[in-house]
Amino acid sequence: MRLKILPLIKEAVSTDEIIKSELRQTQEEIDRIYDLFQNQTDEDLLESCIYQLQSLKARQSFLIKKAKESKLHSCREIFGAYGKKDDA
């Protein structure tokens, strides 16, 4: 018999931290889909990548608006150590 252990105390996470986390995850997913797009040859998979990118960009735009409303203006504050990949 397996027992599931649930944490008794949940950390209180601020809305700002949630927005920052969601923005980081969204940017990582965008980067992943761009990489996938660059290596695809199948038309259906290319189209799928395009739709996924459009969806992720819309989500990113929404999150950026929320960040601005919360006064999270600094990219460094939002993305922290995570940065865009160097294309060089």
Nearest partner of 56 among 29, 16, 75, judged by Cα:
29
Q: Where are the domains of the chain?
A: 17-75
CB 30 within 8 A of CB 53: yes
Q: What is the pLDDT along the chain (88 residues), one digit of tens a residue?
A: 444 544 444 444 678 888 889 999 999 999 999 999 999 999 999 999 999 999 999 999 999 998 888 876 555 555 554 445 444 3
* Residues ≥6 apart with Cβ < 8 Å to 26: 56, 59, 60, 63
| This prediction's pTM | 0.68
